[in-house]
Amino acid sequence: MTLDDLKDYLDSDANEHGLDSVATHGFLTATVVGKPLPNWLSLLFEGEEKTLNADIKKAVIDWRDALLEALKSEEGIELPLEIDDELDEMDFSPESELTAWSIGFVDAMYGDDNVDWFSDDELAEDVAMLTLPMMVFSGIDTIDVDGDDTEDEELAAIRADEDAMAQMANNIEGNLSELFLLFNTDD
């Protein structure tokens, strides 16, 4: 199965338990840049990975391996996002690919209660700063209270500032490399 075939599957109705292809990319990215997530495949498919075709599992594992190899070879990870060429702008709306990618990333980041990216006091502040764009774009802080969406005031202020949002979006790829180095080197 090619990567394009896998993406077609992930974006189809046949994918009953997984994320779409863009969110899956975010999820897989978090599993390679952050702390080890031993049960990542199960989390990605909501515990239903045993029902997947072997070709699909292999293609997902191969995709994750390719992302890891890109980091190890210092190429970095490129986000799978489309920019409106006419406007030369990125979409920051809740329906955007950036939001989907960030939701996938944050899903993996918090997917297992036993894997805490912030457990090392020496790294916690760096991790918070490097993952802030993903948190902002994912909208994870928005809570439905009696039908009203309530969000963190500081993050709401960031979301209201188009320049800050653009700067954060532009920093994500570099932040991914920094996260990888934080969690995967001794220095």
- Please give the chain's pLDDT, 187 residues, in tens: 999 999 999 999 999 999 999 999 999 999 999 999 999 999 999 999 899 999 999 999 999 999 999 999 999 999 998 766 555 667 788 888 999 999 999 999 999 999 999 999 999 999 999 999 999 999 876 654 455 566 677 877 888 888 888 899 999 999 999 999 999 887 5
H/E element, 2:
none
Q: Whole-model pTM? A: 0.91
| 3-class DSSP assignment, residue 26 | helix
Q: What are the structural domains of the chain?
A: 3-184 (1.20.120.740)
Helices (H), the chain: 3-10, 21-33, 40-44, 54-72, 97-109, 121-138, 153-159, 162-184
